[in-house]
Amino acid sequence: MSKADVAGKNEQAWFYSKEVKDHFFNPRNIFKTKEEAEKYKADGLGIVGSPACGDIMKVWIKVDKKSDRIKEFKYQTFGCASAIASTSVLSVMATEKGGMKLEKAMKLTPKDILKRLHGLPPRKIHCSVLGDQALRAAINDYFKKTGQEERIEEKKQ
């Protein structure tokens, strides 16, 4: 790929949608440093990784206990452009319009993330799977911390 392709002057060279590129180059709700993440007082934390690709995602959430909605979604993703964009768009999906209800957030799928990104290359689709798993782990952690074990759900594969 030439420098012009990387700079975006030749849109044909990119295998990613405009949404993927936007969320990769301008990630939302991301912790840029370890110190930022360590200072954050989260209600729930989810960590997932994929040995197949080496990507690891950490998701921190804050929950509005009265409305049962996600009010904040922060993350760190160690991985490729697809993994970063997938987590970034998921963070927006979970917090927009007053925050997503926890019940609805538990039902998010990789297809939901892919739809919002307008797709990923076939060999990168596994990156979108990590985001919903990390969010679900963070919500389950919140349920555990708040004595709501009966609400914990494991994703059926």
User: Of 94, 114, 128, which Cα lies nearest the Cα of 19?
Assistant: 114
**Among the options 30, 37, 47, 53, which is catalytic?**
53
| Dist. CA 79–CA 120, nearest whole Å | 15
Residue 53 appears among annotated catalytic residues: yes
**Among the options 42, 113, 114, 127, which is catalytic?**
127
Site of tokens 């679900």: 136
Tally: H helices and E strands in the chain: 7, 3
Q: How many CA atoms lie within 13 A of 42 on its CB side?
A: 25
Which residue numbers are catalytic?
53, 127
